[in-house]
Amino acid sequence: PPRFGEVFLLQIGRRYCEPTELIVAHPHLNWFELTIVTKGSGSILTNGVEKHVSSGDIYLSFPCDIHEIRADTNERLEYDFFSFFCESND
């Protein structure tokens, strides 16, 4: 993966979820992920714990988390994501 100082970029992207769309539960191995909600609202479930998110929220997923993302019933959810790991454990 590309290296930026002590940070290695695994993936970066943008997602548009239609109302009620579900990104099924998936594991993160040894990396972090930022989910930046740019429009709309929904929920992120991490290890069985649900957190409502909306435009302007930034959600941090930790290594070994299992999460899913759900758009709200009547609103499209748009978000950017950035997955990375660090060279140093600190």
- The per-residue pLDDT string of the chain (90 residues; one tens digit each, 9 = 90 and over) reads 899 999 999 999 999 999 999 999 999 888 999 999 999 999 999 999 999 999 999 999 999 999 999 999 999 999 999 999 998 777
pTM of this structure: 0.89
Q: What integer pLDDT is reported at residue 36 of this predicted model?
A: 98
> Which residue, among 14, 19, 12, 13, has the nearest Cα to 77 in the 3D structure?
19
Distance CA 69, CA 33 (A): 13
Q: Are 12 and 81 in contact (CB under 8 A)?
A: yes
